[in-house]
Amino acid sequence: MSRLQGKTALVTGGTTGMGFETARRFMAEGARVAITGNNPDNLAKAAKDLGAGVLAIRSDAGSVPAAKTLAAEIGAKFGKLDIAFLNAGIGLFAPLEAVAEADYDRQFAVNVKGPFFLAQALLPILSAKASIILNASVVASVGMPSTSAYTATKGAVLALGRALAIELAPRGVRVNTVSPGPIATPIYGKLGLPQDAVAAMAEGIKASVPLKRFGESAEIAHAAVFLASDESAYMTGTETVVDGGLIAA
């Protein structure tokens, strides 16, 4: 397929999970793609797996200077940017009484400040009909225990998407948000919990989803391709929920 033929795209946090799969789909649809990651080993593996043509850039998603450097490198390599999937994010989950200030700050740096200032830094190279896609989460609409700081960041992402959509509309730039529900990604293995605790948590999550399963990264990638393509040319300021019916339950 070639829905993104001739377009240039950036996927932040493109080394694993939803970001990696979206980068793969963008390339399959004809786009020239750049990915970012902060772990050099993951970045090298993703670049190898995605194959020739991908531009892999090491970048800290929570750093404003890094955002400026990234935008400059994208401009130098691509000239212009048609698609930006601002996907990089982290979740550090703990009950309210156990949330450390450093963990709170890091989540807001990566999940909110990062995409905000990267969008700002990319403005000079965005094409006339560029598409910016933010990655939020259904937790912004469905309260869950031990996610308070993370939930606050994703609520901010939703609000940011609406505001940027209005602000950038005169330039023809569209801004939309995709909100995944429970997706089978490596994040669940990074919670620092015993394997049996992770398995029990996964079963509880699946039980709460009407479709009774986790989503796949490819299902988020399909939504991102649609929002990146001309098929969604009359969409801006929207939230596309991909959650197996969780919000509706």
What gap in Å lies between CA 180 and CA 87, rounded to an integer? 11
What gap in Å lies between CA 233 and CA 129, rounded to an integer? 9
Radius of gyration of the chain (CA): 17
What gap in Å lies between CA 140 and CA 153, rounded to an integer? 8
Task: Report the candidate in 6, 73, 20 with the shortest Cα–Cα distance to residue 224.
Answer: 20
Name the β-bridge partners of 134. 86, 177
Task: Report the candidate in 75, 167, 79 with the shortest Cα–Cα distance to residue 116.
Answer: 167
To the query of whether residue 188 is one of the catalytic residues in this protein, the response is: no
| Catalytic residue chosen out of the listed positions 104, 150, 188, 234 | 150
Q: Which residues form the catalytic set?
A: 150
